[in-house]
Amino acid sequence: MDKAKSGRVLQTAADSSQPLLLTPTEDLKGFLGLHLGRLTLLLITCTSVLAVFLIFLFIAIEAFPFLTKVSLIEFLTSTGWYPESYEKPEFGALALIAGSIYVTIGALVFAVPVGILAAVFLSDIVSFGIRDFVKPVIEILAAVPSVAYGFFAVLVLAPWLQNRFGFATGTNALNASLVLSVMALPTIISVAEDSISAVGRELREGSYSLGATRMETVLRVVIPAAHSGIIAAVVLGMMRAIGETMVVWMASGNASQIPHPWWDLSQSVRTMTATIAGDMGETAKGSDHYRALFAVGLLLLVMTFLLNMVSEYLLARAKKRLGKQ
Amino acid sequence: MKIAVRNVFDKVFTGLTRASIVLLVLVLAVVLGPILYRGSSAVVFRGTVEFRRMQFAVFGHGDEQQIQSEVQQARAVRERVYEIVDEFKKGIDASALTERARKIHRDFGQELRYRQTPHEQYAELRSLSRDIRDRLEAAFEASDKAQVDESIKYVMQYRQDERLRDTIAAEYFQMAGDFQRAAARVDLAKRAEYAEQLKDVEDILFCADDRPGLLGPRPGELQPALVMNQYGATRWDQAKALLDRFLWEEKWVEQEKGKPLVKVKVERAKIFEGTELEPLFAYVRDNVREMLRPRWTFYWRYFFDDSASGHYFGGVGPEIIGTLLLTLLSMLFVIPLGVVSAAYLVECASENMVVRIIRMCINTLAGVPSIVFGLFGMAFFVLFLIPLFDGPSKPCILAGSMTLAVLTLPVMIRSSEEAIRTVPQEYKEGSLALGASRFRTFVAVTLPAALPGILTGVILSLSRVAGETAPILFTAGVALGPVPDSVLDTTRTLSYGSWDIAVGNRISALVPHKQYGMVVTLVLLVLCLNGLAIVLRSRVFRKLKGQ
Amino acid sequence: MKRTICCSLAIVLLLIGSGLAEAAEKTLHVEGSTTVGPIADAFAEAFKKMYPDVTITVNKSGSGTGAAALVDSRCDIATMSRAMKEKEYKDAVGKGVFPFGHVVAMDGVCVIVHPSNPVSELTSAQVQDIYLGKVTNWKQLGGPDMKIIPVSRDTASGTYDTFDHFVMKQQKMAGHVEYVSTNPQAFARVKTTQGAIAYVGFGFVRRGVKAVNLDGVVPTRDTILSGQYPVSRPLFMYTNGYPPLGSIVQKFVSFHLTEKGQALVEEAGFVPVTRY
Question: Are the CB atoms for C202 and C187 separated by under 8 Å?
Answer: no
Domain annotation covers residue A269 = yes
Residues of A within 8 A of B495 (CB-CB) are 145, 147
Establish, for the pair of chains B and C, how many residue pairs have beta carbons separated by less than 8 Å. Answer: 134
pLDDT for A103 equals 93
Three-state DSSP class for C150?
strand
- Per residue in C58-91, pLDDT tens? 988 888 889 999 998 889 999 998 888 888 999 9
Confidence of residue A239 (pLDDT cuts 50, 70, 90): confident
CB contact under 8 A, A83 and C155: yes
Does position C23 have pLDDT exceeding 70, yes or no? Answer: no
Confidence of residue A2 (pLDDT cuts 50, 70, 90): very low
Residues of C within 8 A of B261 (CB-CB) are 115-118
- DSSP strands (E only) in chain A: 81-82, 90-91
| C59 touching chain A per CB within 8 A | no
Residues of B within 8 A of C115 (CB-CB) are 252, 261, 263
d(CA C127, CA C147): 14
CB contact under 8 A, C192 and A155: yes
Domain annotation covers residue A72 = no
Question: Are the CB atoms for B474 and B410 separated by under 8 Å?
Answer: no
Gap from C125 CA to chain B (nearest CA, Å): 23
Q: Where are the alpha helices (DSSP H) in chain C?
A: 2-21, 37-50, 63-71, 86-94, 124-132, 158-163, 183-192, 221-226, 248-253, 259-267
pLDDT for C259 equals 86
CA distances from C101 to C227, C235, C251, C261, C269 (A): 21, 9, 14, 18, 21
pLDDT for C104 equals 94
Helix (H) or strand (E) holding B419: helix B397-421
Mutating which of B3, B5, B20 best tests the A interface, going by the most A Cβ atoms within 10 A?
A: B20
Establish, for the pair of chains A and C, how many residue pairs have beta carbons separated by less than 8 Å. Answer: 116
Does position C214 have pLDDT exceeding 50, yes or no? Answer: yes
Domain annotation covers residue A204 = yes
User: Left (φ > 0), alpha (ψ -120 to 50) or beta: where does A177 sit?
Assistant: alpha
Mutating which of A57, A147, A202, A319 best tests the B interface, going by the most B Cβ atoms within 10 A?
A: A147
- The more confidently predicted of residues A243 and A143 is A243
pLDDT for C19 equals 44
d(CA B345, CA B413): 9
Alpha carbon C89 to its chain's center: 20
**Listed residue (C178, C142, B232, B545) closest to A256, CA to CA:** C178
Gap from C53 CA to chain A (nearest CA, Å): 31
d(CA A95, CA A270): 7
Residues of A within 8 A of B419 (CB-CB) are 194
- Pick from C19, C44, C184: CB nearest B488: C19
Across residues A55-68, what is the average pLDDT?
Answer: 87
Confidence of residue A3 (pLDDT cuts 50, 70, 90): very low
Residues of B within 8 A of A48 (CB-CB) are 341, 358, 361-362, 365, 409-410, 413
Does position C18 have pLDDT exceeding 50, yes or no? Answer: no
Domain annotation covers residue A23 = no
d(CA A67, CA A71): 7
Could you count the other beta carbons within 10 Å of the beta carbon of residue C217?
13
Residues of C within 8 A of B477 (CB-CB) are 59
Across residues C139-167, what is the average pLDDT?
Answer: 88
Gap from A224 CA to chain C (nearest CA, Å): 38
CB contact under 8 A, C12 and B332: yes
Instruction: For B509, name the nearest residue in chain A, comparing CA atoms only.
Output: A155
CB contact under 8 A, A243 and B367: yes
| C34 touching chain A per CB within 8 A | yes
Question: What residue ranges of chain B have pLDDT lower than 50?
Answer: none
How much of chain A exceeds pLDDT 90, in percent?
A: 12
User: Which of C 64-93 lie inside 8 A of A, CB atoms?
Assistant: 64-65, 67-68, 71, 82, 84-85, 87-88, 91
d(CA B475, CA B400): 5
Record the pTM: 0.80
Q: How many domains does one find in chain A? A: 1
pLDDT for C4 equals 59
- DSSP annotation of C276: -
Domain annotation covers residue A137 = yes
Across residues C108-132, what is the average pLDDT?
Answer: 92
**φ, ψ (nearest 5 deg) of residue C137:** -135, 140
- Per residue in B106-153, pLDDT tens? 888 888 888 888 888 888 888 888 888 888 888 877 777 788 888 888
Does position C120 have pLDDT exceeding 50, yes or no? Answer: yes
Question: A265: domain range?
Answer: 77-324
Gap from C22 CA to chain A (nearest CA, Å): 32
- CATH number for the domain spanning A224: value is 1.10.3720.10
How much of chain A exceeds pLDDT 70, in percent?
A: 92
Gap from A99 CA to chain B (nearest CA, Å): 15
pLDDT for A4 equals 47
The identity of residue B460, as a single letter, is: L
Question: Are the CB atoms for B501 and C29 separated by under 8 Å?
Answer: no
Residues of A within 8 A of C188 (CB-CB) are 154-155
User: Which of A 166-195 lie inside 8 A of C, CB atoms?
Assistant: 168-171
Confidence of residue C22 (pLDDT cuts 50, 70, 90): very low
Question: Are the CB atoms for A191 and A119 separated by under 8 Å?
Answer: no
Domain annotation covers residue A263 = yes
d(CA C76, CA C210): 38
Q: Spell out the residues 6+ positions from residue B347 whose beta carbon is closer than 8 angstroms to its own.
A: B420, B438, B442, B446
Q: Is the ipTM of this complex over 0.95?
A: no
Domain annotation covers residue A52 = no
Q: Spell out the residues 6+ positions from residue B535 whose beta carbon is closer than 8 angstroms to its own.
A: none
CB contact under 8 A, A145 and B418: no
| A306 touching chain B per CB within 8 A | no
Environment class of residue A176 by beta-carbon count within 10 Å: exposed (0-12), middle (13-18) or buried (19+)?
buried
- Per residue in A242-263, pLDDT tens? 888 888 988 888 888 888 888 8
| A27 touching chain B per CB within 8 A | no
Could you count the other beta carbons within 10 Å of the beta carbon of residue B84?
18
Give the mean pLDDT of chain C. Answer: 86
pLDDT for C8 equals 56
Residues of C within 8 A of A252 (CB-CB) are none
User: Which of C 226-255 lie inside 8 A of B, CB atoms?
Assistant: none
**Listed residue (B206, B228, B209) closest to B217, CA to CA:** B206
d(CA B213, CA A320): 72
Domain annotation covers residue A39 = no
Question: Are the CB atoms for B483 and B3 separated by under 8 Å?
Answer: no
Question: Are the CB atoms for C84 and C101 separated by under 8 Å?
Answer: yes
Question: Are the CB atoms for A142 and B32 separated by under 8 Å?
Answer: no
